[in-house]
């Protein structure tokens, strides 16, 4: 295989393919940053790419906000209403739900944020929500990128909240030009303060009045003040006389001017003058730093926050590099249990419990992209059934099959779940009734008085609670029974395969309910019930349930579990106080069995027809109500001018209608979007406005302003718009976060409406959702990285399998080497990476075409069985292999350019052990990336 062949992108197997790599954005209007004068101060220079395969570094943050404890009381009641705001480089990304009246809140919310690799920190602000005044800041926890990089498995544990110091709440960058001017008598230091961007808002109008103070060697000079701007432009120059050997540093400070109170600190940059003298000239954007001169306040008196934060950096190669890996996995899934390799089984056995969910989700998305999700899950079902002897233990463990099916239902069935369960959850939240079936937990005082003005008895409370739960359970089962046609075809077909496999494995009459329980173990126990207990985590509600509603949801989830278990005696014996619901549960079992019978009754033709009809429609990405304002003329822009409409985002266009059922009108074609960014608060008096910059049919630039109700909705819409337009040509590298009001931009006060922009776009900052477009290259990279991490375990498992009696005779040497035929699709170098050794010495491309050829997997530095020489290439022939002329004998000989003695091999008939592993063990791990070049481990 030649090196050129390796780097050339190639298509995947037939089926849906991933998006092409995004086109590079136009160069920003400002000069690119250069190397830093001081480490950590200067923004990194954009490196000139070297010749080689195009790849991209992608960073993501997994965030789990667990709980808080010992928070200070901020309300007169001696309590607080805490919630968390998560900021990445001071940009609000996430807002948790508010937990009312507690000093020890529990959130349990999980998020994954995709962002630029150049981010600096992630901060968690704990706030106290107030209805009448501005929310109080309780404290914060800040984790820098460097801190997260030192925890490969992520940061996990309790962190003390620290007080929020205004002088440390700095953000933004400043554009400077620094020169050392040589003179006849002395050198002079020239500092040009050009502009700044994304400064912290210090005034109540959401802006600042910034000026810059430059200090050197006891002298101070200041720029003019730019009123009401976070994106000021000064273009002012100052000069200082340089003294020979002076150790004084140059300090550039940004301040917010205030007429009455003291000026607010906005950040500073400090330069080493001696290094500057050596460099002579520097220009670029520099990140503003906080003032670290003040002593730190004591920690611990503001409470603590339990967090789990994991940073993941992935270098994603071109699509063609992952083709052999994808082919390998897809080939095994297509063969099913007939595959001799059983690589999927080995992946399951070598995957630890803590990362099994991630591996399952990644595999599922990879096979979804290849149109093989149903086949992949069917293979897992067969493997699970093959090792299960007792029907009552089927799919009860956290196996790869169970985790993959959970992920599958969330990816493919979330919209279906919302349609079935959404109205019932809304009704529970709106009624807010007190519901309790456990006599030991009944609290009559919480109910109040009845119509006869007497306290209700415990029996009356239990009876009313049972009636309420029976109504909710009956409504849910009725909604489920009517939803057969609404269930996605791929979900129905997967359940059909599961139903058939279980019925074949347990065919006796006493196990007639086992196929139904197998379906409900996923549909009810792992999908519907968890969604009932935690509706916010399934996007069914924006806020967590209060204590009363939470108890109602828990009891309803228990009832659904009893129905899903087909009302077995074991499920009834656990909680006898659930007996009042038994009539509804028994009726629900009959309804559920009828529903499952209809659900799995889908023929191949019907499945294909439904999928074909769905493929003709543009997939819905996101929908919901928004307020729109489109600028016209020079009139003032007021929040009252926004009009509420129902918006729908598909993979083709952003459309709107008066109501969800009204006829939709296209607002923006997806291919015309050039940027989706936030609008600064002062522009409309709201911090939840976004702008979509696009071109109309005539090619003119237009902007649509959309207002959201909260920061989460704003970020979700921005994320969705960025994902579906990421491959558009002509994406902007800069934009204006303000509006063009009158004759100038409100952000930077520039009068040129066509100005390229005063801030950089953030097209790579997105939130992960279950309905995200599939990223085939990233999923393949994650699987490849996982396999490299468990390579030693895989080798040991392979050795054990090969040593079994069913493996048949194989060729072995002193080091335990084995031979495998490189039959297609396994003869292309394995995993998209070259064999060991430099590219110039790789195996000839003609090798896989030889029908009787073999590849020896002799471990490195061990003896060949036919001679006493050591193999220098881990058993892989270095040069083109030469076989004896046909007919080939059972002892065909290899001859290698770099080995003196021939390597005798057995014929393929004797070596058909596990062709899958032959490629796994000839792969080479990727150990480093330098620019756009590759570095391979020997």
Residue 825 contacts residue 326 (beta carbons within 8 Å): no
Q: How far apart are CA 854 and CA 852, in angstroms?
A: 7
Q: Is the pLDDT of residue 802 over 60?
A: yes
Sequence-ordered alpha helix ranges (H) in 691-818: 711-724, 776-789, 791-802
Q: Is 173 exposed, middle or buried (0-12, 13-18, 19+ CB in 10 A)?
A: buried
Report the pLDDT averaged over residues 647-674.
90
Report the pLDDT averaged over residues 556-568.
88
What pLDDT does residue 376 have? 92
- pLDDT band at 293; cut points 50, 70, 90: low
Report the pLDDT averaged over residues 749-774.
88
Q: How far apart are CA 683 and CA 738, in angstroms?
A: 6
What pLDDT does residue 611 have? 66
**Rounded (10°) angle between helices 791-802 and 776-789:** 70
Please report where in the chains the tokens 């456990």 appear, as a residue: 438
Q: 814 vs 390, which has greater pLDDT? A: 390
What pLDDT does residue 248 have? 79
Report the pLDDT averaged over residues 861-890.
34
Report the pLDDT averaged over residues 608-633.
72
Q: Lowest mean pLDDT: which of 178-187, 324-333, 592-601, 915-924?
A: 915-924
Residue 284: its H or E element: strand 281-287
What pLDDT does residue 95 have? 93
DSSP structure class, residue 811: -
Nearest to 720 by CA among 673, 680, 786: 673
Please report where in the chains the tokens 């602000």 appear, as a residue: 125
Q: Is 425 exposed, middle or buried (0-12, 13-18, 19+ CB in 10 A)?
A: buried
Measured from the Cβ of residue 54, the count of other Cβ atoms closer than 10 Å reads: 14
Q: Lowest mean pLDDT: which of 173-177, 237-241, 790-794, 882-886?
A: 882-886
Sheet containing strand 188-197, edge to edge, reads 233-241, 188-197, 173-181, 281-287
- pLDDT band at 804; cut points 50, 70, 90: low
Report the pLDDT averaged over residues 543-549.
86
Please state the length of the chain.
Answer: 938
User: Is the preceding peptide bond at 605 cis, omega within 30 degrees of 0?
Assistant: no
Residue 712 contacts residue 94 (beta carbons within 8 Å): yes
Please report where in the chains the tokens 């790849």 appear, as a residue: 55
Residue 59 contacts residue 313 (beta carbons within 8 Å): yes
Residue 61 bridge partners (DSSP) = 113, 311
Q: Is the pLDDT of residue 537 over 80?
A: yes
Averaged confidence pLDDT in the chain: 76
What pLDDT does residue 300 have? 57
**pLDDT digits 0-9 by tens, 156-175:** 999 999 988 877 888 999 99
Largest CA distance in the chain: 105
Q: How far apart are CA 309 and CA 317, in angstroms?
A: 26
What pLDDT does residue 348 have? 84
Q: Which residues contact 496 (CB under 8 A, 6 or more apart)?
A: 599, 600, 601, 602
Q: Lowest mean pLDDT: which of 133-142, 290-299, 429-438, 467-476?
A: 290-299
Q: Is the pLDDT of residue 461 over 80?
A: yes
Q: How far apart are CA 393 and CA 873, in angstroms?
A: 47
Q: How far apart are CA 195 and CA 96, in angstroms?
A: 35
**pLDDT digits 0-9 by tens, 209-228:** 999 999 998 889 999 999 99
Q: Is the pLDDT of residue 483 over 70?
A: yes
Residue 9 contacts residue 318 (beta carbons within 8 Å): yes
For the chain, the first-to-last Cα distance in angstroms comes to 17
**pLDDT digits 0-9 by tens, 895-921:** 332 333 333 333 332 222 223 333 333
Considering only CA atoms, give the Rg of the chain.
Answer: 32
**pLDDT digits 0-9 by tens, 326-346:** 888 898 888 887 766 577 888
Q: What is the pTM of this model?
A: 0.75
Q: Is the pLDDT of residue 64 over 50?
A: yes
Residue 86: its H or E element: strand 82-88
- pLDDT band at 736; cut points 50, 70, 90: very high
Measured from the Cβ of residue 509, the count of other Cβ atoms closer than 10 Å reads: 5
Q: Is the pLDDT of residue 62 over 50?
A: yes
What pLDDT does residue 885 have? 35
Sheet containing strand 643-650, edge to edge, reads 665-669, 653-657, 643-650, 620-629, 701-707, 689-695, 673-678
Q: How far apart are CA 876 and CA 860, in angstroms?
A: 10
Residue 680 contacts residue 696 (beta carbons within 8 Å): no
Nearest to 437 by CA among 541, 351, 526, 559: 559
Nearest to 6 by CA among 681, 701, 923, 683: 923
Residue 613: its H or E element: helix 604-615
Q: 656 vs 42, which has greater pLDDT? A: 656
Report the pLDDT averaged over residues 690-715.
91
Report the pLDDT averaged over residues 728-738.
92
What pLDDT does residue 616 have? 52
Q: How far apart are CA 841 and CA 847, in angstroms?
A: 14
Helix/strand/coil percentages in the chain, nearest 5 = 35, 25, 45
Report the pLDDT averaged over residues 191-210.
90
Please report where in the chains the tokens 């590849």 appear, as a residue: 855
Q: Lowest mean pLDDT: which of 50-54, 393-397, 561-565, 608-612?
A: 50-54
- pLDDT band at 54; cut points 50, 70, 90: low
- pLDDT band at 713; cut points 50, 70, 90: very high
What pLDDT does residue 44 have? 36
Q: Is the pLDDT of residue 85 over 90?
A: yes
Q: Is the pLDDT of residue 24 over 60?
A: no
- pLDDT band at 545; cut points 50, 70, 90: confident
Q: Is the pLDDT of residue 52 over 50?
A: no
Q: Coil, helix or strand for 39?
A: coil
Measured from the Cβ of residue 700, the count of other Cβ atoms closer than 10 Å reads: 8
Number of H helices, E strands in the chain: 21, 34
Rounded to an integer, what is the distance from CA 88 to the centroid of its chain? 15
- pLDDT band at 516; cut points 50, 70, 90: very high
Q: Is the pLDDT of residue 746 over 80?
A: yes
What sign for the dihedral angle of Cα 352, 353, 354, 358? positive
Structure tokens at 720: 């969705």
Q: How far apart are CA 119 and CA 126, in angstroms?
A: 21
DSSP letters, 628-649, are EE---TT----GGG-EEEEEEE
What sign for the dihedral angle of Cα 506, 511, 516, 519? negative
What pLDDT does residue 640 have? 52
What pLDDT does residue 857 have? 37
Q: Is the pLDDT of residue 636 over 70?
A: no
**pLDDT digits 0-9 by tens, 233-284:** 999 999 988 877 666 789 999 999 988 888 999 999 999 888 888 888 899 9
**pLDDT digits 0-9 by tens, 351-380:** 888 888 889 999 999 998 888 999 999 999
């Amino acid at each position: 295989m030649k090196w050129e062949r390796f780097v050339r992108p190639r298509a995947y197997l037939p089926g849906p393919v991933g998006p092409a790599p995004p086109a590079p954005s136009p160069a920003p209007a400002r000069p690119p940053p250069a190397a830093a004068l001081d480490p950590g101060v200067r923004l990194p220079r954009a490196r000139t790419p070297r010749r080689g395969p195009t790849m991209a570094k992608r960073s993501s943050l997994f965030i789990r906000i667990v709980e808080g404890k010992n928070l200070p009381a901020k309300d007169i009641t001696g309590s607080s209403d805490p919630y968390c705001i998560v900021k990445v480089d001071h940009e609000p990304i996430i807002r948790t739900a508010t937990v009312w009246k507690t000093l020890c809140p529990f959130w349990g919310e999980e998020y994954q944020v995709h962002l630029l690799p150049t981010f600096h920190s992630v901060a968690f602000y704990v706030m106290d929500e107030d209805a009448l005044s501005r929310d109080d800041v309780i404290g914060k926890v800040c984790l820098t990128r460097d801190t997260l990089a030192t925890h490969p498995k992520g940061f996990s544990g309790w962190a003390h909240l620290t007080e929020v110091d205004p002088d440390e709440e700095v953000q933004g960058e400043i554009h400077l030009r620094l020169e050392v001017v040589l003179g006849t008598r002395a050198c002079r230091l020239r500092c040009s303060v050009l502009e700044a961007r994304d400064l912290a808002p210090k005034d109540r109008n959401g802006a600042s009045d910034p000026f810059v103070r430059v200090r050197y060697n006891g002298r101070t000079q200041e720029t003019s003040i730019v009123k009401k701007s976070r994106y000021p432009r000064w273009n002012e120059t100052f000069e200082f006389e340089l003294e020979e050997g002076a150790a004084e540093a140059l300090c550039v400070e940004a301040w917010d001017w205030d007429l009455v109170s003291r000026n607010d600190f906005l950040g500073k940059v400090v330069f080493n003058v001696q290094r500057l003298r050596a460099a002579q000239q520097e220009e670029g954007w520099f990140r503003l730093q906080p003032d670290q001169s003040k002593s730190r306040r004591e920690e611990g008196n503001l409470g603590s926050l339990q967090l789990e934060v994991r940073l993941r950096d992935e270098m994603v190669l071109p699509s063609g590099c992952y083709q052999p890996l994808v082919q390998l996995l897809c080939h095994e899934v297509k063969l099913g249990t007939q595959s001799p390799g059983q690589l999927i089984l080995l992946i399951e056995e070598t995957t630890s419990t803590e990362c099994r969910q991630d591996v399952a989700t990644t595999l599922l998305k990879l096979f979804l992209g290849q149109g093989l999700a149903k086949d992949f899950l069917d293979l897992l079902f067969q493997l699970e059934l093959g090792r299960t002897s007792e029907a009552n233990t089927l799919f009860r463990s956290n196996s790869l099959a169970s985790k993959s099916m959970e992920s599958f239902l969330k990816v493919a069935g979330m919209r279906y779940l919302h349609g079935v369960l959404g109205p019932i959850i809304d009704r529970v939240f709106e009624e807010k009734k007190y519901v309790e079936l456990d006599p030991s937990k009944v609290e009559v005082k919480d109910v109040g008085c009845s119509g006869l003005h007497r306290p209700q008895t415990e029996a009356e409370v239990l009876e009313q609670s049972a009636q309420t739960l029976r109504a909710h359970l009956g409504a849910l089962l009725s909604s489920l029974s009517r939803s057969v046609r609404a269930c996605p075809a791929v979900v129905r077909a997967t359940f059909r395969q599961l139903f058939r496999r279980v019925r074949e494995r347990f065919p006796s009459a006493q196990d007639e309910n086992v196929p139904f329980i197998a379906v409900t173990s996923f549909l009810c126990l792992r999908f519907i019930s968890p969604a009932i207990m935690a509706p916010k985590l399934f996007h069914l509600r924006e806020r967590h349930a209060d204590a009363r509603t939470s108890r109602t949801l828990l009891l309803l989830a228990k009832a659904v579990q009893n129905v899903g278990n087909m009302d077995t005696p074991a499920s009834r014996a656990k909680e006898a106080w659930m007996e009042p619901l038994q009539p509804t549960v028994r009726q629900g079992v009959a309804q559920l069995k009828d529903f499952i019978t209809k659900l799995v009754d889908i023929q191949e033709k019907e499945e294909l027809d439904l999928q074909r009809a769905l493929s003709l429609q543009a997939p819905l990405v996101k929908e919901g109500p928004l307020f729109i304002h489109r600028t016209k003329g020079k009139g003032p822009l007021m929040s009252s001018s926004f009009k509420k409409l129902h918006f729908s985002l598909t993979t083709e266009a952003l459309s709107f209608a008066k109501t969800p059922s009204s006829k939709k009108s296209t607002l923006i074609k997806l291919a015309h979007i050039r940027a989706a960014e936030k609008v600064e608060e002062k522009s409309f008096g709201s911090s939840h406005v976004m702008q979509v910059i696009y071109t109309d049919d005539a090619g003119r630039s237009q902007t649509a302003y959309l207002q959201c109700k909260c920061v989460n909705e704003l970020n979700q819409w921005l994320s969705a718009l960025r994902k579906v337009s990421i491959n558009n040509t002509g994406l902007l590298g800069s934009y204006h976060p303000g509006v063009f009001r009158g004759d100038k931009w409100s952000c930077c006060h520039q009068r040129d409406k066509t100005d390229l922009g005063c801030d950089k776009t953030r097209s790579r900052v997105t939130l992960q959702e279950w309905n995200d477009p599939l990223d085939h290259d990233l999923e393949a990279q994650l699987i490849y990285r996982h396999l490299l991490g468990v390579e030693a375990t895989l080798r040991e498992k392979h050795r054990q399998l090969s040593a079994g009696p069913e493996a048949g005779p194989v060729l072995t040497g002193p080091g335990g080497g084995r031979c495998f035929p490189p039959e297609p699709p396994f003869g292309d170098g394995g995993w998209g990476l070259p064999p060991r050794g430099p590219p110039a010495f790789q195996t000839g491309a003609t090798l896989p075409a030889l029908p009787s050829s073999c590849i020896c997997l002799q471990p490195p530095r061990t003896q060949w069985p036919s001679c006493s020489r050591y193999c220098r290439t881990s058993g892989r022939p270095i040069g083109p292999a030469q076989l004896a002329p046909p007919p080939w004998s059972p002892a065909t000989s290899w001859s290698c350019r770099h080995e003196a003695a021939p390597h005798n091999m057995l014929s393929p008939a004797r070596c058909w052990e596990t062709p899958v592993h032959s490629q796994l063990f000839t792969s080479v791990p990727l150990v480093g990336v330098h620019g756009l070049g590759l570095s391979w481990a020997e």
